[in-house]
Chains A and B, each alone.
Chain A
């Protein structure tokens, strides 16, 4: 069955550093991959979508890479701020419904 792993449950980094979150998957060939942010008590908020034929996507301080050979996506937040503290979810999509990972809880410490 499809399996998605996000590198760790929690990640603590210092303000100003670059946060790197990992999403690995097996038994799946997604047409695209999405990243969402979720704050406590709220629904996920869409951040970026990257398609299987794209290597990299950027949006402001965010960068996503997608390596279909390694079956991995990396999500980077540069110049991180305490306001970036949240849970980040990766989700795989294609001909089947979106499959979400468990998420990584990021804490940016001032």
Chain B
């Protein structure tokens, strides 16, 4: 059906709050990626799932960041005790497999006050 969807589109959090960002990938896409994009920069890799397995989390900036994809479809990126430097757009992308074109969602713009 439709492309990759993300919710919420915008999130404002007070410093120290926990947030959860959701990604609905394209049905049937095995690979799912999370990226962080700061203003004026390209997307930076955070983590990668192949089905429900998290194969690479080398880009997660700290142990406050956690991602899951328990049933191999929907994924959630959780940020605990948010800090101002976490403010960015968080993009989710899915693909048939790694190495193929990636389909991006619209992103969630997180602002931490």
Residues in chain A within 8 A of chain B (CB atoms): 4, 9, 31-32, 34, 36, 41-46, 49, 89, 91, 93, 97-103
Contact = CB atoms under 8 A, between A and B. Distances in A.
B1 interface: no
B40 A97 contact: no
Interface in B68-106: 91, 93, 99, 101-106
Nearest to A51: B99
B44 A100 contact: yes
Contacts, number: 50
B25 interface: no
A-B complex: 6 closest residue pairs judged by Cβ atoms? A43-B104, A100-B42, A46-B101, A97-B45, A44-B104, A100-B43
A89 B44 CA distance: 12
A49 B102 CA distance: 11
A41 B106 contact: yes
A103 to B, nearest CB: 5
Of A36, A43, A44, A89, the most chain B CB neighbours within 10 A belong to A43
B16 interface: no
B55 to A, nearest CB: 10
11 contacts: A4-B42, A46-B101, A46-B103, A89-B42, A97-B48, A98-B33, A100-B35, A100-B42, A102-B41, A102-B42, A103-B42
A26 B56 CA distance: 23
Contact of B106 (A31, A32, A43, A102): A43
Contact of B42 (A31, A45, A101): A101
Contact of A43 (B4, B41, B42, B58): B4
Contacts of A31: 99
Interface in B20-42: 33, 35, 40-42
B107 A98 contact: no
Contacts of B58: 97
A42 B41 contact: no
Given A97-B45, A103-B42, A43 B99 contact: no
